[in-house]
Amino acid sequence: MEPRARVGKNRGQQNFSDSELRAFLYAFGDVDEPIDGTKKVLDEIVTDFITELCFETARSAQLAGRQKVKVDDVKFACRKNPSYLGKIDRMVVAKAHIDATKKLVDVNDDKILSNANAAAEEPLGANDDDADTQTVGGRSGAGGK
């Protein structure tokens, strides 16, 4: 069966929750409680858009001789709409920025682990009570004694 025909079998079923559709409509200026018909129409429009975009993206990957879809395939499918391309580019740049930031703070860094382990392994003595110590100028000393 043709993949697009399979999509037609689910016609009339709502794919997004009422709360998602209500929030989406409200964000774009609708009332708090939109009419059920409005939610159904929006659900159908968004579902059709996503389905068509996925088919175009898969077709682009297939023409390139690949089974897996890449970001470039999505860009190619959106090539006729500059606003979609701009949003995709912004998301790619944001993801690269997030990945670079994650690499700056490496949780498997030996220095971080060795400092944490050293602090955890230091035994506490009988005289180790924070109530009578005071930090002054970066040094610990007896408070007022």
Give me the pLDDT at residue 86, please: 94
Give me the pLDDT at residue 77, please: 93
Q: Which domains are present in the chain?
A: 3-104 (1.10.20.10)
Give me the pLDDT at residue 5, please: 56
pTM, entire model: 0.60
Strand ranges (DSSP E) for the chain?
133-136, 139-142
Angle at 23 between CA 19 and CA 27, to 5 degrees: 175
From first to last of the 145 residues of the chain, give the pLDDT tens digit.
Answer: 455 555 666 667 888 999 999 999 999 999 999 999 999 999 999 999 999 999 999 999 999 999 999 999 999 999 999 999 999 999 999 999 999 998 887 666 666 666 666 666 666 666 666 655 565 555 555 555 4
